[in-house]
Structure 1
Amino acid sequence: MDIPHQRLVYFQVTVEAGSIRRAAARLNIAPSAVSRQIGLLEEAMAASLIERTRDGVQPTRVGEMLLDYILQREKLDQHLGERLDAYQRLETGEIRLIIGEGFVGDIINSPLRAFRKQYPGITLKVDTGSMQSIIDSVIEDEADIGLMYHERVHPQLRFWHSSPQPLVAIMSPEHPLASEAHALTLEEVSQHPMALWGPSHGVRQLMDDGFREAGVRPHMVVQTNSMEVLKQAARSELCITLLPAFASARELQEGVLIARDVECASFRQARAHIITRVGRRMPRASLQLLRHLERWIAAFSGPRQEAW
């Protein structure tokens, strides 16, 4: 039923005051106005709501039902207000994040850990996907924020931050090419066994374009959809792999893997992006997470460490 809130207030105050005259005094209006509003309320309910006794007015059975409804509504309004207040203070809420697998290695221990420490009431839902699935999830509002690699433009995406993340050769320190100080050519890289992403992966597509332009073919011996397989293959000295440095940040810092620049223009132009859907209004919590992610990803675009 569409009952004006004012009529409910007049009825509640009348029951609490015990008479229409005392209710009118509390509301600072004429008693006739209170009677008229209660009459309209009774008409809408198709039932009497109050009855007069020697001690004043009392609610009928239907009036008691309506009074209970009013009290429950007040509790719901209060609860909603408290939830909204907590949401605005970033104490509650959920953020859905979809990222490329290469971001997984460091994102939990860096920006997400810092964000959770600052906003412990926010729930983070984190999924991984290919470049296309990341784009689709963000466009279709299945995810609030996406992190992806390589893609440069898209009419339905807002690029909040993009940082240069060149594709580099990742290998064991014991690999024959590890001692080379110069940027490796694709011809040099192609002469060694390689572990590579499957053909639908964005990094693989970037790599295929680079090798095609150079007129050479990679010597692929391992093909996988697993970041861990790529890194383990490189650590075992079995293969070289091609990844952005941030995908192996921990292993590079620990020295179990090293990175070598590759002489390829398209590799050097690759970027990592933080994206949302064009036109999507971002809640305060999501905006704060975007800031954490921007600072984190920007750190990888600075000068590379000597160990890399």
Structure 2
Amino acid sequence: MSDFSITRIRYLFEAVRLRGIRAAADFLDVAPSAVSRQIALLEKTARTPLLETNRRGANPTEAGLILLAYYREHVSREEALISQLDGIHGLQHGNVAVGAIQGFTEDLMNRALREFRQQHPNVTLTLRLGSVNDILTWLQDDQVHLGLTHGPRLNLHAVRLKEAASSAQPVCAIVKTGHPLTQLPVVRARDLFDHPFGLASAAFGTRMIADEVEALEKRQFKVALECDHLIGLMSFVRAGMGVTLLPAFFVHDDVQRGVVQALPIRHKLMEAAQAQLIVRRGRELPVGALKLQRMLTANLLAFSAPAVAQEI
């Protein structure tokens, strides 16, 4: 196994991660020929190609995927070992990385990350914001320890991930206080289609649900704004331009201030939405990540009973 050294496999890992030999060389601060040579030596030892290159970049072969999985397991076990040793001395250093969709940001900062930093001031926190697909990819590639998503419940078994916690967090109609929808005794999906909407981009959980509702109801939302950021969607609502679709915990602070209202929607797809805390199956998390995981499930609004501004 000496020819399958971790240092050598790292060249393959970076070439795949960065989609090319030259990009990997730049990142590793070596010549491209050095990366190619190390991968060639790995292929000689494995007696099979490990990398395929085309116009879209570098992709691993089946054998390459096996080596990359071995590399990820080694790195995560080494990280866990260092973390366990450090844990004996009270988490004096280290990093915990979280991937989340944007709507979790306020909940995370106010109810988990602030307390974690107070308890462990020498641990660096990394927060990466993206779409559901981004977060699943980051988890699979061990770029983050914990992932927070919202939307249709995900089938995680096929992608080597598992659910650490979940909570029903229905999609609500988010409207400016006084909007006509607030006058209805019950808001149903059919009541939404006559109003202008600001909707998230296609890769986000609430948009996936909106698309499914359109298909089921055989009607389309009047999309006045499409935006890939929560700030844009909420500015749209606060300006009185229309409605957006989000879980209530995303907008908890605005609801508490009376700026907007989160109206439950009587529809099976809206009501079935879930907040999920996800980890990679089989990964041994470092001590800091385990502590933060427990803090997230205990403290976040996302994993408590849905808090809605108006009972209807």
TM over 0.5: yes
Q: What CA distance in whole angstroms lies between the structure 1 residues aligned with 2:194 and 2:162? A: 40
| 99 and 299 in structure 1: CA distance in 2 versus 1, 3 angstrom threshold | closer
Range that drifts further, 244-253 or 88-97: 88-97
Which residue, 151, 176, 180 being the options, matches 2:184? 180
* Aligned partners of 1:87 and 1:93 also within 8 Å: no
Q: 1:304 to 1:181 in 2, by over 3 A?
A: farther
Structure 2 residue aligned with 1:5: none
Cα distance change of structure 1 residues 201 and 305 upon mapping to structure 2, 3 Å threshold = closer
When the two structures are aligned, how many residues end up with a matched partner?
227
Task: Check if 1:166 corresponds to 2:180.
Answer: no
Map Cα deviations across residues 92-132 of structure 1 (whole Å, 9 max, x no partner): 21011110011112211211111111111111011101100
Q: 2:252 aligns with which of 227, 249, 257?
A: 249
Secondary structure of the 2:214 match is helix
The residue aligned with 2:155 is 153
Aligned to 2:19: none
Q: Can you list the C-alpha shifts for 1:154-175, whole angstroms capped at 9, x where unaligned? A: 1211210000010000000121
Give, in angstroms, the shift of residue 233 of structure 1: 0.7
Contact 2:98/2:128 (8 A) holds in 1? yes
Q: Deviations over 1:236-288 (max 9, x none)?
A: 11110000111111111111010111121011111011111000001111111
CA pair 306-83 structure 1, distance change in 2 beyond 3 A: closer
Q: Which structure is larger by alpha-carbon Rg, 1 or 2?
A: 1
Which amino acid in the other structure matches residue 110 of structure 1?
Answer: R
Q: Secondary structure of the residue that 2:304 maps to in structure 1?
A: coil
- 1:127 aligns with 128
Normalised by the size of structure 2, how large is the TM-score? 0.68
Corresponding residue of 1:140: 141
1:192 equivalenced with 2:195 (yes/no): yes
SS of structure 2 residue aligned to 1:279: coil
Change (3 A) 1:299 1:272: closer
Q: Pick which of 109-118 and 290-299 moved more.
A: 290-299
Cα RMSD (Å): 2.1
Partners of 1:192 and 1:303 in 2: how far apart? Answer: 25
Any stretches of 5+ residues in structure 2 without a counterpart?
A: 1-81
Q: Flag structure 1 segments of 5+ consecutive residues without an equivalent.
A: 1-81
Aligned residues of 1:174 and 1:237 also touching (Cα < 8 A) = no
- Is 2:249–2:306's contact at 8 Å kept on the other side of the alignment? no
Provide the TM-score with structure 1 as the length reference.
0.69
Q: Secondary structure at the match of 2:300?
A: helix
1:252–1:307 contact (8 Å) kept in structure 2? no
Deviations 1:141-191 (A, max 9, x none): 111111111242212112100000100000001211122232x11221110
Checking the alignment, whether the CA contact within 8 Å between 2:263 and 2:308 is kept in structure 1 is: no
